[in-house]
């Protein structure tokens, strides 16, 4: 998985293209990421009886991982992720600055 929870990403496609945000959840099975404030939709909640009126809340939908690009925390550039194997460990590196990320 190239994108991890807590990563800063730039949205590269869709209605929020160009925006940035922090990944809150990764859905590896669906290859989607949840970025708060991005890919929002309005949910209408029906009234649940006395004292619980209906409401409209704004929620974020997970978006395809292919629609986001990682922003490297070291060089602050939009980058692709590379891997380097050191012994038993596979580490993630930035393709631009080659730092571990
Ligand atoms: Zn970098």
Q: What is the pLDDT of residue 86?
A: 84
Q: What is the pTM of this model?
A: 0.84
Residue 23 in contact with residue 91, Cβ under 8 Å? no
Q: How many CB atoms lie within 10 A of CB 64?
A: 14
Half-sphere exposure at residue 6, Cβ-oriented, CA atoms within 13 angstroms? 2
Cα gap 72→15, rounded to integer Å: 23
Please name each of the domains of the chain with its CATH number: 8-94 (2.30.30.30)
Q: How far is the CA of 80 from the centre of ligand 1 (A)?
A: 9
Q: What is the pLDDT of residues 43-76, one digit of tens each?
A: 999 998 888 899 999 999 999 999 999 999 999 9
Q: How far is the CA of 12 from the centre of ligand 1 (A)?
A: 18
Q: How far is the CA of 64 from the centre of ligand 1 (A)?
A: 23
Q: How far is the CA of 3 from the centre of ligand 1 (A)?
A: 14
Q: How far is the CA of 34 from the centre of ligand 1 (A)?
A: 22
């Amino acid at each position: 998985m190239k994108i991890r929870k807590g990563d800063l990403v730039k949205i590269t496609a869709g209605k929020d293209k160009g925006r940035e945000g922090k990944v809150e959840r990764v859905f590896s099975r669906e290859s989607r990421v949840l970025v708060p404030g991005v890919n929002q939709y309005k949910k209408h909640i029906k009234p649940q009886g006395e004292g619980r009126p209906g409401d409209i809340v704004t929620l974020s939908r997970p978006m395809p991982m292919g629609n986001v690009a990682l922003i490297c925390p070291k060089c602050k550039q939009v980058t692709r992720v590379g891997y380097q194997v050191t012994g038993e460990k596979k580490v993630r590196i930035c393709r631009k600055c080659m730092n571990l990320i």
